[in-house]
Amino acid sequence: MEDLQAPLRDDVRLMGKLLGQTIARDQGEAFLAKLERIRKLSKAARRGEADTDELVQALQQLDEHELVPMARSFGQFLNLANLAEEYHRIRRRNSLVVTRPDPQALDRVFDEIVEAGVSPQQLADKAAALRIDLVLTAHPTEVNRRTFIQKYETMAELLEKLDREHPLSPRTHDLTERLQQLITEAWHTNEIRSERPSPVDEAKWGFAVIENSLWEAVPTFLRHFDRELQRVSGTTLPYDAAPIRFCSWMGGDRDGNPNVTATVTEQVLLLARWMAADLLLGDISKLRHELSMGRASDELRQVVGDCNEPYRVLLRRVRQQLINTRDWAKSCLDQGWQPGEDILLQDNQLLEPLLLCDRSLRECGMELIADGCLRDTLRRIACFGLSLVRLDIRQNAERHAEVFDELTEYYDLGRYSDWDETEKQAYLLSELNSKRPLLPQRGWTPSVNVQEVLDTCAVVARQDPQSLGSYVISMASSPSDVLAVALLLKESGIEFNIPIAPLFETLADLDRAPAAIDTLLKVDWYRDYCAGHQEVMIGYSDSSKDAGALAASWGQYRAQQGLTETCRNHGVDLTLFHGRGGTVGRGGGPSHTAILSQPPGSVDGSLRVTEQGEMIRYKFGIPDLAVRNLELYAGAVLEASLVPPVTPKPEWCELMDQLAERAHQEYVSLVRNNPQFVPYFRQLTPEQELAKLPLGSRPAKRKQDGGVESLRAIPWIFAWTQTRLLLPAWLGSGRALTEACEQQQQDKLRELIGQWPFFNAYIGMLEMVLAKAEPAIARYYEHCLVEPELRELGSRLRKQLRQTQQLIPQLKQNDQLLADNEVIRQSIQVRNPYIDPLHYLQAELLRRDRQGSNQVVEQALMVTMTGIAAGMRNTG
C-alpha cells in the first residue's frame, strides 16, 4: 500500500532545503553550519544519543548578532512544516489511495444517521433547518502577520501544482523557483508586528479569511452537502438555506478592551458592508458574463422590456446598485454616516432580481445554468449577505450596572448595584413597560464609561438586524443582567429584538445558570421579547482558569444539561453558544468530537461556537481545508441532533462529581492558596514579557494592577505553553484520576472512556496535552529563572505531570501516549527537535532580559515566542 506520509516528508525536506539556501545567502555558510550543528544536536538529544548540555552550550556560544536569525531559522522552519502538514491533509483527503474510509465524511455520517432509524425525510427537514454560527474572534492567538499568511497560502498552491508535475518537467523547476522566492520573501520580512493591531486591523484580518478562502469554500461545501442529501433523501437544500453562517467579535467585543469603542464598531460594520458589496460585485460581473442567453420568461421580459440579452440588462442594474453601495460605505467611513441613494441595505433587495433570473432560467428549460454560478451566488447571499458577517456586541455586566448606578443616584433612588435581585428586576421591568424616557433630557452628565455604553447601544439601534448577531453579556449571573441590556437598547430607540445571550463563565455561575434562565423565562415581558428562543453562552476559558480543566468541563456539562431541561420545560428553543479557544485549557480540540460529546438534547439543529485566533487560519485559511471543516461541523451537528449520545448513567455522574471535586480542590489549593505559586509562575514563564509581544488589541489583563486572577485566560495559557509545562490543562485532573485508581476504580474509569463520549473526549484531549508536555524543558526554565527557594514547588508539579503522563496510557491499556493516534503523535515528534532549541534559547534570553535588556535580546525573545507558538500549533 502506498505510503501517504512520504509526500509530506518530501515537502518538508524540500522547503527545509530552500529555507537553508535562503539563510546561507543572507547569513553566510558559517552561520548555516552553526544552525545545522544545533539542529543535529537537538535531534541527537531527542533520540537519547547526546546530552542536552552540548545543545545548550552551542546556543549559549552564539554571538549577540546571531540570536535573532537563529531563532527565526527554527521558527520559520516550523511555520513551513505546519504549511506542509495542512496541505498534506488536503492531499490525503483527495488521494485515490486511502488507508481507511473517513468516518467523519458527509456520506458516511448521512448513512449512519439513516441506519440508526432516522427517516430520510427527517434528515432532510433537520438539514434544511440547521443553524450553525461560527463566530470569528480576534483574541491575541494569531502570531502570524497577515502578510505571512498570504505568502503561506501561495506556497500551498505551489505545493499542489508540484504534485501534478513530473519531477523532471521544466514546470517543476519554475514552481520550485517560485517557492524559493516566497520563502526568501518570508525570511526577509519581519515576523513581529511593529505595533499592536487595532480592532479595525483585526476585523480586516477576519474579512481577508472570508475573501481569500471562505467565499469560495461555502458554495463548494453546500454542493457536497446537496449531493449527499439528495442521495439519501431525494431532496436538496432550499436556495436560502445556510446551515453555517459566520459572525464576528472583531470590532464588537469590548469586554475589557478600551480600544473597542462605539466609533470602532460602526466603522467595522461599514467596512464589512464595503467588502460584501465588493465581493458580490465580482459575482454579479461573472454572472453578467455567463448569462448571455436571450430566452427569458414573460415575468423577466416585463421587467427589462424587449432586448436581446435580458439577463445582462437586469444584472447591469444590480451591478450599479452594488457599486453605489460600496461607494456609499466608503464615503461613510471617510466622512461619517450619511444616507445613500439607490443602494442595497437588505438582502431581499439583492435577492429579488437574482431569484427572477433563477425562475426564468428554470421556466425556459435551463436548469443546468441556474444550478451553476447563479446558485453559488444565491448561497453566498444566504450565508454572508450584504453585511458579510453578523457582528456580535459583547460587554461586561458591570459596565451596564454602572449606567444604572449613575441614573438611580441622579434620580435619588439609591445605588442600583446595592439593590437585591428582586428590586433590580422590579425597577427594570417598570422602566421597560413605561412610555416615558428613562434618560434625563437635561442636567445629567454621564461619566465617560457610561457614555460609551450608551453610544454603543445607539450604534446597535440604528443597524439593520441582518448585520448583527447577538448581544453577549460577560460575567452574567442573574436575570437582571439581561433585562438591563434590553432596557438600554429600548432607550436607544431600537426597533427589533436582538438576541441577548448571558455568558456564564465561572464555575459558580455555571452552576447557577439553569436557575437564572428559569427565573428569566418566568418574566412575561421577557418571554414576549425572546419569542420562544433563548441563547446562552458557556464560558470555557475563564471557567477553566477559575476551577481547573476537569472541574470546569464537568461544570459546563452539568450547566448544559440543566439549561436544556429548563428551556424544554418552558417550551423555549435553546441555542448554546460555546466560547471555546484553541487549546485544551480553553475548551479546544477537534470540533466534531466536542459536538458529539455534548449532553443529549443540547444540540438540536442549532449551535454557536467561537473560532479563535490561529485556529481560524488552521481550519479555514485554505479553501479545501475550509470545506472539510464546514462538513465536519454540519455532519456533527446533524448527528448530535438526530442520533444524540447516550444519557450518562447515575453512577457515571456520581464518579464525575467525585473526580471534579477532588480536581478542583487540588487546583485551588495550588493556584489560589499556595503563596509560592504566583511568584513561581511569574519567574518560570514569560508572562510579564508577553506584554511586549504585539499580538492583539486587547490588554493582557482586565485590571493592570491585578494578579493571576485578573490575567486573561489566553496569556495564562500562552505563558504555560511556552515552558511546555502546560499546567492549566492537567493540574488537578492527574491527582483526581490517580486517587480514583488507588481506590480500585480503574474498571469504572475504563467503562466511562469506552461508553461515554463526554469522558472519552476529555481523556483524549488530556492525552494530547500530556504528549506535548515536557517536564525536562520546564525544569531547564526553572534552573535558569526561578529562585532556589521556589524550586521545590516546581519539582512537585513535574512529578505530578510525569505521573499523569504514565497514568493515561495505563487507563487506556496502551503502551504510550497517543498510541491510537499515530498522526498527531508523529506530528509532535517531528516538531520537537526544532522547538527544543527555541525553548533553551528562550530561557537564556529571559534570564538576560531580566538582568538588563537590550533591543536585540528583546527582539530575539519575541521571535522565540512566535516560533514556539508555531511549533505547538496553538498559543492560547
Active-site residue list: 139, 545
In whole angstroms, give the CA distance from residue 138 to residue 719.
18
Q: What are phi and psi of 245, to 5 degrees?
A: -120, 165
Between CA 858 and CA 846 the distance in angstroms is 9
Given a contact cutoff of 8 angstroms between Cβ atoms, the answer to whether 77 and 834 are in contact is: yes
Task: Compute the distance between CA of residue 585 and CA of residue 580 in angstroms, rounded to an integer.
Answer: 9
- Show the DSSP H helices in 574-649 as ranges: 591-596, 614-620, 623-642
Please tell me whether residue 712 adopts helix, strand or coil conformation: coil
Within 91-207, strands assigned E span 131-137
Q: What are phi and psi of 305, to 5 degrees?
A: 85, -170
Angstrom distance (rounded) from CA 559 to CA 548:
16
Letter string b/e over residues 207-224, b meaning 16 or more CB atoms within 10 A of that residue's CB: bbbbbbbbbbbbbbbbeb
In a 10 Å sphere around its CB, with 0-12 CB exposed, 13-18 middle and 19+ buried, how is residue 701 labelled?
middle
The residue assigned the cell 460600496 is 326
3-class DSSP assignment, residue 642: helix
Other Cβ atoms closer than 10 A to 437: 9
- Coil, helix or strand at residue 696: coil
DSSP 647: P
Compute, in degrees rounded to 10, the torsion defined by CA atoms 774, 775, 776, 777.
Answer: 60
Query: How far, CA to CA in Å, does 719 sit from each of 137, 349, 354?
Result: 20, 49, 51
CA–centroid distance for 649 within its chain: 32
C-alpha span between 461 and 809 (Å, rounded): 55
CA distance 724 to 872: 9
> Helix or strand or coil: residue 267?
helix
* Torsional class of 90: left (φ above 0), alpha (ψ -120 to 50), beta (otherwise): alpha
DSSP letters spanning 44-73: HHHHTSS-HHHHHHHHHTS-HHHHHHHHHH
**CA atoms of 414 and 452, how far apart (whole Å):** 23
Decide: helix, strand or coil at residue 364: coil
- 90 φ, ψ (degrees, to nearest 5): -65, -45
DSSP label at residue 550: H
Residue 377 host element (H or E): helix 375-383
What is the distance between the alpha carbons of residues 93 and 824, in angstroms, rounded to a whole number?
Answer: 16
- DSSP-H helix ranges across 733-812: 733-742, 746-755, 757-772, 775-785, 791-811
- Quick check: helix, strand or coil at residue 704? coil
Neighbours of 286 (CB within 10 A): 14
Coil/strand/helix, residue 317: helix
Query: 3-state DSSP call for residue 569?
Result: helix
**Kind and range of the H or E run holding 397:** helix 397-410
Residue with cell 493540574: 731
Distance CA 516, CA 745 (A): 36
Three-state secondary-structure class, residue 472: strand
Helix (H, G, I), strand (E, B) or coil at 291: coil
Q: Under a CB-based contact definition with an 8 Å cutoff, are residues 139 and 714 in contact?
A: yes
